[in-house]
């Protein structure tokens, strides 16, 4: 083979690899994987047996198809009884809530599922007026915004508890804490939140929604059974042997980033989320919805 031919062959190989990887990245970042789990607990009452909970997290104002039609289709296909949204519907610098509210509108008009919601750190970047307007719009679509109080979900004569923490940074905003990183994993944060929460009574099955998965050590100390969380974006780049490259607040090689975690009789499901802010690309880490089926 002549020298020029060799060079052309090498260039063609490199271009093929680049094109293939580019196409793969597009697929990785624009298709949604529904991860289905079965969660069993003897405390789950009869009427909640086989209940389907769809977890949506970290949309960050991303659109999958026009008007988020592809995302809506995936949500409808999952046939959820309840939808839990674990924060960051908005991107980190969003003041425009259109994409987020269009999704909620689509969910509430196409599904009869009750929707429970907690803020993430991105919603905390809205000013007070914008946050109040956003909350009012969510409420108008029937979304239950959880704000640190235990609530009851009733079904067929049975009930379970649901609790949602505001984003850790909300407590800092309301009560003059320093930035939440100082508090996320400390006794002081636990005691601060605990002092302000309605105390649970009885031993009903209890679920917790909270945006920051890195606070699992704190959540475990509350009287909750099943925790739903996000914020880690699946570790952004997935590595071999079930590792991940990076998650906010946890840094490189995070402990919590996706899937199911068990400790101390508590189970936490972490969503890999749907969107990414600032043009960061996910690698080997598809956008994700978690679907958890409860079993008694
Ligand atoms: Fe977040």
227: left (phi over 0), alpha (psi -120 to 50) or beta: beta
Please indicate, yes or no, whether residues 48 and 7 belong to a single structural domain of this protein.
no
Mean pLDDT value of segment 207-221: 89
Do 187 and 286 share a domain, yes or no?
Answer: yes
Cα–ligand 1 centroid distance for 74 (angstroms): 22
Query: Ligand 1 center to residue 233 CA distance, Å?
Result: 8
Confidence of residue 154 (pLDDT cuts 50, 70, 90): very high
Q: DSSP letter string over 82-146?
A: EEEEES--S-TT----HHHHHHHHHHHHH---EEEEE--TTGGGS-HHHHHHHHHHHHHTT-EE-
Of all residues in the chain, what percent carry a pLDDT higher than 70? 88
Joined together, the tokens standing for residue 178 give 């320093």
CA of 24 to the centre of ligand 1 (A): 25
Question: Do 38 and 73 share a domain, yes or no?
Answer: yes
Distance (angstroms) between ligand 1 centre and the Cα of 121 equals 5
107 and 244 share a domain? yes
Same domain, yes or no, for 249 and 219? yes
pLDDT (tens digit, 9 = 90+) per residue, 98-150? 999 999 999 999 999 999 999 998 998 888 899 999 999 999 999 999 987 78
Judged by average pLDDT, the poorest of 49-58, 129-138, 192-201 is 192-201
37 close to 269: Cβ distance less than 8 angstroms: yes
Those residues with Cβ within 8 angstroms of residue 88's Cβ, 6 or more apart along the chain or in another chain: 57, 58, 59, 60, 120, 121, 122, 123, 211, 230, 231, 273
Q: How far is the CA of 288 from the centre of ligand 1 (A)?
A: 15
CATH for 287: 3.60.21.10
* 260: confidence class by pLDDT, cuts 50, 70, 90: very high
Distance 92 CA to ligand 1 centre (A): 8
pLDDT of residue 179: 46
User: Taking a C-beta distance cutoff of 8 angstroms, is the pair 87, 123 a contact?
Assistant: yes
Taking the C-alpha atoms of residue 172 and residue 189, their distance in angstroms, rounded to an integer, is 10
Same domain? 21 vs 155: no
Does residue 242 sit in the same domain as residue 165? Answer: yes
Which residues form the domain of 15?
1-30
Cα 7 to averaged position of ligand 1 atoms, centre (Å): 46
Where is 201: in which H helix or E strand?
none
231 and 247 housed in the same domain: yes
Residues 103 and 170 grouped into a single domain: yes
Query: pLDDT confidence of 174, banded at 50, 70, 90?
Result: low
- Tell me, in angstroms, the distance from the centre of ligand 1 to residue 203's CA: 31
Whole-model pTM above 0.85? yes
- My answer on whether 68 and 194 are in the same domain is yes
Q: Within this chain, do residues 134 and 102 fall inside the same structural domain, yes or no?
A: yes
Residue 12 Cα to ligand 1 midpoint, Å, equals 41
Residues near ion ligand 1 (CB < 5 Å) are 88, 120-121, 231
DSSP code for 57: -
Q: How many domains does the chain have?
A: 2
Q: Residue 184: what pLDDT?
A: 56
Q: How far is the CA of 155 from the centre of ligand 1 (A)?
A: 31
Q: State the distance from the centre of ligand 1 to the C-alpha of 210, rounded, in angstroms.
A: 10
Same domain? 42 vs 25: no
Q: How many A from CA of 182 to the centre of ligand 1? A: 16
Listed in sequence order, the residues at least 6 apart from 104 whose beta carbon sits closer than 8 Å to its beta carbon are 89, 115, 137, 138, 141, 143
Look at residue 266 and tell me whether its pLDDT is greater than 80.
yes
pLDDT confidence bin for 294, thresholds 50/70/90: very high
Q: Distance, CA 116 to ligand 1 centroid (Å)?
A: 17
């Amino acid at each position: 083979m002549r020298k020029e031919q060799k060079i052309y062959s090498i260039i063609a190989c490199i271009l093929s690899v680049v094109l293939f990887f580019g196409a793969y990245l597009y697929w990785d970042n624009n298709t949604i994987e529904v991860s289905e789990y079965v969660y069993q607990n003897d405390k789950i009452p009869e009427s909640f047996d086989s209940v389907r909970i769809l977890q949506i997290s970290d949309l960050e104002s991303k659109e999958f198809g026009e008007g988020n039609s592809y995302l809506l289709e995936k949500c409808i296909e999952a046939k959820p009884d309840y939808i839990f949204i674990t924060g960051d519907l908005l991107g980190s610098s969003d003041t425009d809530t259109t994409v987020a509210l269009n999704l909620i509108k689509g969910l509430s008009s196409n599904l009869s599922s009750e929707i429970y919601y907690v803020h993430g750190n991105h919603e905390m970047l809205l000013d007070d007026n914008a946050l109040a307007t956003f909350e009012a719009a969510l409420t108008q679509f029937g979304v239950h915004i959880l704000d640190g109080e235990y609530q009851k979900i009733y079904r067929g004569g049975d009930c379970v508890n649901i609790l949602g923490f505001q984003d850790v940074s909300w407590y800092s905003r309301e009560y003059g804490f320093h930035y939440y990183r100082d508090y996320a994993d400390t006794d002081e944060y636990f005691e601060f939140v605990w002092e302000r929460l309605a105390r649970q009574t009885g031993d009903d099955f209890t679920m917790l929604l909270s945006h920051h998965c890195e606070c699992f050590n704190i959540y475990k100390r509350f009287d909750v059974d099943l925790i739903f969380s996000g914020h880690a974006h699946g570790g952004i780049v997935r590595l071999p042997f079930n590792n991940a490259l990076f998650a906010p607040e946890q840094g490189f090689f995070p402990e919590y980033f996706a899937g199911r975690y068990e400790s101390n009789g508590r189970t936490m499901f972490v969503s890999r989320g749907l969107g990414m802010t600032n043009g960061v690309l996910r690698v080997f880490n598809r956008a994700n919805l978690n679907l958890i089926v409860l079993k008694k």
